[in-house]
Structure 1
């Protein structure tokens, strides 16, 4: 049940933003075997010049079409699972026109006690929701 933030420079059509979100969701569903309905995305557009993503010394340049993805999910997945997810996201985004060098992903982990799905209750902690296995977290 990851929560995903997608940050882009403004100027994309609403349909394109939807395709970006859907591509990322497809990758997460396939790699982490989460239910299709576990779909929690926030897409934020920023004015030109407010999204900065240099190459970190890797020797390539990004365009203004950079897509910054932040994934918030429960801890427990292996480094291999995370790497497979990163590759799947890049592949799916390439399918909707985003170049590999324009995909930037940050991954943040937390625990079951760190989530509330509504009403100010921590539903995993209260038992209202079953805590996902590490394969589904």
Structure 2
């Protein structure tokens, strides 16, 4: 049930976008028990100057080509699972499409089962 929002600079190829989506999905499958078919990814391209990322925050040397990954999912994952997700996701993104781990920012947003509707105005996880 995660909803993944991916923000990056304009000009990426379809193959790059697919590789990013695949890496995110694989990392979630491996580390936080997301089913393989539970893929809901929203990609947003941004023109130069629309992603304001500090180049050295926490002493991380970032380039001018960031990827921001925001994952909204139900609460309940452990700190160790979240750390494993961060680690595995940056490993997979480095493999394909070749994104530097320093350029990947990940933010997790947790909510409850009742906060999800997958259509028809129904809270699918918490039926009435």
Gaps of 5+ in 1: 128-137
What's 2:24 paired with?
A: 24
Deviations 1:8-36 (A, max 9, x none): 01011111111111111110011122211
Instruction: State the distance in 2 between where 1:55 and 1:64 align.
Output: 8
1:79, CA displacement in angstroms? 0.8
What's 2:112 paired with?
A: 111
For the aligned residues, what is the CA RMSD?
1.3
**Structure 1 residue runs of 4+, over 6 Å off?**
none
TM-score w.r.t. the length of structure 2 is: 0.93
What's 2:14 paired with?
A: 14
Instruction: State the distance in 1 between where 2:40 and 2:62 align.
Output: 27
What's 1:134 paired with?
A: none
Secondary structure of the residue aligned to 1:30 is: helix
1:64, CA displacement in angstroms? 2.5
**Alignment length, in residue pairs?**
127
